[in-house]
Amino acid sequence: MHPILFKFGSIVIHTYGFFIALGALLGGIFMWQQGKKRYQMSFDQANTLFVLLIIGGVVGGKFFLIFENPSFYLSHPAELLTKNGFVFYGSLLTDIPLMLWFFQKNKLPILGMLDVMAMVTCIVHGFGRMGCFNAGCCYGKPTQSIFGVVFTDPTCSAEPLNVPLHPTQLYEGLFIFGILGLLFLLDRKKKFEGQVFLIYLMLYAVGRSVVEIFRGDIDRGFVWKGVISNSQLISLIIIIVSFYFYVKLRQKVTFPSIKNEKHGK
């Protein structure tokens, strides 16, 4: 694909970075607009949260690289800073507690804002996957199907070059934007605050587990080599935890109404 968007003298704009920046900009604007519209979130609050999430996402995404090759990175920690790329789940699992803390500190509705952030995450992540596709990272296994994409640029990360590979970056990116569309619809008819966020987590985790089957970058880390990847294990945990909280929050909405009906209220 096109790892480098353009060069201007000594200035090089990488396509991956461009799409990440574009996604972050659009996601940040959406977050502020929705936060202001729904919960009177100020621009300063939105800006502070935006910066915190970027820092948390970078730190968490880099830290989770350790699990790809623990013995190597623990003995060569500086490599975490020099290696390109991030682990999305590392960024997500770092940013969730940051959001919970920020919303509580600023007296913003936690569950309601998490619903907004589910859509923000899809926007940023979806564009990020488009960047991955152009950079060749997170590439798929060789395939003879009609979906195969051939990477030829020697500066991209895909391996092997000149061989049709599953475009797993596009699979995941399109799936994420599909989730985003569903979340927009669900947000209008949700039964309780936090529903959109929890459904996002479960849907993405299921989709990510499926996409992992077609991934070809084996250096991403496996719990059971060649069978269960680190991301598939994390996805399973996320599905279980999210489903638990979904049931708990749903019960808080359903049971009081049943109780009131029994008392003729």
pLDDT of residue 99: 97
Long-range contacts of 208-213 (CB under 8 A, 24+ apart): 208/172, 208/232, 208/235, 209/235, 209/236, 211/168, 211/171, 211/172, 211/175
Residue 150 placed within a domain: yes
pLDDT value at 238 more than 90? yes
* 129-139 pLDDT per residue, tens: 999 999 988 89
Q: How confident is the model at residue 62, as a pLDDT?
A: 85
Query: Is pLDDT of 19 > 70?
Result: yes
Residue 264 lies in a domain: no
Confidence band for 80, pLDDT divided at 50, 70 and 90: low
Residue 122: which domain range? 4-259
The total domain count for the chain is: 1
**Interval 216-236: pLDDT, tens:** 887 777 777 767 888 999 999
Task: Band the pLDDT of 256: cuts 50, 70, 90.
Answer: low
Q: What is the mean pLDDT of residues 241-262?
A: 78
Q: How large is the greatest C-alpha to C-alpha distance in the chain, in angstroms?
A: 77
pLDDT in the model for residue 32: 95
pLDDT at 265: 46
Cα 133 from chain centre: 15
- 113: nearest Cα among 36, 210, 201: 36
For the record, the structure tokens of 141 come out as 């296994």
In whole angstroms, give the CA distance from residue 127 to residue 177: 9
Provide the 8-state DSSP code for 229: E
CA distances from 92 to 211, 227, 235 (A): 18, 24, 12
Residue 265 lies in a domain: no
| 56 is a domain residue | yes
For residue 239, being part of any structural domain is answered with yes
pLDDT at 217: 85
pLDDT value for 156: 87
Is 91 a member of any domain?
Answer: yes
- Across the chain, mean pLDDT equals 89
Is 39 part of any domain?
yes
DSSP line for 28-85: HHHHHHHHHHHH---HHHHHHHHHHHHHHHHHHHHHGGGGGSHHHHHH-TTHHHHS--
β partners of residue 203: none
| Joined tokens for residue 97 | 């507690």
Q: What is the CB neighbour count within 10 angstroms for residue 117?
A: 24
pLDDT for position 233: 93
In a domain, 248, yes or no: yes
pLDDT at 227: 73
By percentage, how much of the chain surpasses pLDDT 90?
67
| Percentage with pLDDT > 70 across the chain | 92
The model carries a pTM of 0.90
Q: From the CA atom positions of the chain, what is the Rg in Å? A: 20
- Is residue 141 within 8 A of residue 164, CB to CB? The reply is no
Q: Which of 130, 121, 90 is nearest to 28 (CA)?
A: 121
170-203 per-position pLDDT tens digit: 999 999 999 999 999 999 999 999 999 999 999 9
For the stretch 33-68, pLDDT in tens is 999 999 999 999 999 999 999 999 999 988 887 777
